[in-house]
Homo-oligomer: A and B are copies of this chain.
Amino acid sequence: MTEFSSHRTDLRAYAPSGFIGKYSKLVKDEVIPYQYDVLWDKRENTEKSHVVQNFINAGKAIRGEDTGDGFYGMVFQDSDAAKWIEAAAFSLVNFPDSELENKIDELIDIIADAQDEDGYLDTYFTVKDRDKRFTNLLEGHELYCSGHMIEATAAYYKVTGKRKLLDVMLRNMEHIYDHFVTKGEEGYPGHPEIEQALIKLYRTTGDKKALELASHFVNVRGKDPDFFIREKEKRDWTVWGNDGSDRDYQQSGAPVREQKDATGHAVRAVYLYAAMAGLLCETGDRSLEDACHRLWNSITKKRMYITGGIGSTVEGEAFTEDYDLPTDTAYCETCASLGLMFFAAAMLEHETDSRYADVMERAFYNTALAGMQLDGKSFFYVNVLESLPGISGKTRTHRHTLTTRPGWYACACCPPNLARVIMSFGEYAFGENEDTGFVHLYAAGEVKFGCGLHINIDTEYPYSDRIVISAVKGGNIAVRIPVWSKKRSIALNGTEISAETVKGYAYISLNDGDTLTLTLDCTPRFNFASPRIPSVAGMVCLSKGPLVYCFEGKDNDGDVVGLSLDTASGIEIGSCSELGTDCLRVTAYRDEAEDELYSFEAPAQKKVKAAAIPYYAWCNRGENQMRVWMRKK
């Protein structure tokens, strides 16, 4: 059998139920309406958003009218509208809702009005100073905002067939193409995003200019490592005072094909790498392959938390150095893990290798989901692996590590980003080529592959290791065997079969009506850290299937720092009814605290049962201590 490549299933192909179905419903019921209200500034006790008003005021600016209260918010404020439209568009697939569709159309009308005659679209510059367009690519985020609006367009057009926003963004794309390609103005995005968006636009419309523009931005990046410095010298204004000299921060230090380590702002990095991998798939440009592999390995073998979090420091929201993975001051932005999923999903299209899906799953079920409260009403931007009220959120080094999820942020990138990923989960979970359907991530629901295969998946995953796939319409299927599953059994219509397995995927042919039962090995396990990671060398953490677990004070007498785990004893599975999750119980020893900081005597220890809950569900019972990595007895 040779290597497979695949493309993502159509976003309309998956109707979720089970765990993902519940999350989809939560996003539909809570997140999308809440974020809609925020965009319109209809929520009280919430930081002002002004997103819709910015578009309205930009429209006024274009018509030469008074712009009222002008622009308000971050320079990338427009992107919140884009991410909302995208999530809402995805939502319509499985939750048809004409009221919601009307709201989207109403917003699209406002956005269309904010587009300049030449196709330019960005409320910050249109309202504040149209002469400054494209003069600060480093900080200006115009291309970033266009990128998100293009992704929104691709989604909404695909779901509804409505062209209005598509036409707006095609004109916008033409304008950008004209500026950077036809006119040859130098530069590339400070914050990559439009590159992967343009690839989506190409996939949706077949517009070759979109693909060409994406290639242009990727290829030109870093060719002149001083571009952003020279850009800075030419302008007399700034957004945040970034002078362009930190080439690592903006991934501009070398042409992308020569970049070696995952560096700088973590979200920017993985958005760029996702676009590189996307181009590798679309153009077959193998010259990108080595760089993609190198950057993938840099992240996953040296710079990634066990939760799939990336970005070790708040300063620059950035990658740092190999093995520098502090738990308590980690950044691990929700969006960075979503970006890691984008990178993984793109690599998975290029080569069906379970290592990409393993990381995608790790990032989703742990850091990404931890970004949202279980009720869908509040959000973490930063996802630490240790939270200690009294220190976390309080000391100067820990100010960014909040101990509870706030409702909304001035910089609100993460919540709508998570919403759109949940609502398009099928695009990450399933892929296909001409004759095979691929199951990368397990999730209950119905999937109709374009290749004809039509299946129902029945599973309690991630809480069960049993996945039953019923073929409504047969065909070839490839199912992933996760790295965490030490054994697996595959039964076809009740009879164990030995399926050929290549790079972590088992390949099976299904006839109409066949039932495939996959049993993985979700035994809870201790994970050990590499001795190269100073922060957690010698420590252990618990996982079960795709879920990483953490110890909260709530379940452990308020103190998790004093605990050490007995790895020789077993791990019991229990349930945590408050959270609606399971929990893991292990024998542990609690060091008893004396009055002194240091002593010649080891602290007295008490044998206890310690309980861990899934990491994604932490901090749902108020502020309390939390630790992922624990000492070993």
In Å, the complex CA distance between A390 and B325 comes to: 13
Query: Is A601 at the interface (CB under 8 A from chain B)?
Result: yes
Q: Which residues of B contact A593 (CB under 8 A)?
A: 530-532
* A526 and B320 contact, Cβ closer than 8 Å, known pairs A326-B397, A561-B531, A561-B537: no
Closest residue on chain B to residue A300 by CB atoms? B597
* Contact among B388, B564, B598 for A306, CB-based, below 8 A: B598
* Contact among B320, B596, B598 for A391, CB-based, below 8 A: B320
* Size category, A interface: 35 or more
- One of A190-198, A308-316, A338-346 contacting the partner: A308-316
Question: Can you list, as one digit per residue, whether each of A150-169 has a CB less than 8 Å from chain B (1) or not (0)?
Answer: 00000000000000000000
A selection of 29 A-B contacts at a CB cut-off of 8 Å is: A300-B597, A301-B596, A301-B597, A304-B597, A306-B597, A306-B598, A312-B397, A318-B396, A320-B391, A324-B391, A324-B395, A326-B397, A484-B600, A486-B600, A526-B600, A526-B602, A528-B598, A528-B601, A528-B603, A529-B597, A530-B593, A530-B598, A530-B603, A531-B561, A531-B603, A532-B597, A537-B561, A538-B564, A567-B602
Question: Can you list, as one digit per residue, whether each of A321-336 has a CB less than 8 Å from chain B (1) or not (0)?
Answer: 1111010110000000
Query: Is A178 at the interface (CB under 8 A from chain B)?
Result: no
Q: Which residues of B contact A301 (CB under 8 A)?
A: 595-597
Query: Is A236 at the interface (CB under 8 A from chain B)?
Result: no
Query: Is A302 at the interface (CB under 8 A from chain B)?
Result: yes
The dominant DSSP class at the A interface is loop
Q: Rank and list the top 6 A-B pairs by shortest CB-CB distance, nearest first.
A: A531-B591, A531-B562, A315-B396, A320-B395, A538-B631, A324-B391
Q: How many copies of this chain are found per oligomer?
A: 2
* Contact among B328, B329, B562 for A537, CB-based, below 8 A: B562
B328–A534 CB distance below 8 A = yes
A294 to chain B, nearest CB (A): 15
Q: Which residues of B contact A561 (CB under 8 A)?
A: 531-534, 537
Query: Is A60 at the interface (CB under 8 A from chain B)?
Result: no
Closest residue on chain B to residue A633 by CB atoms? B538
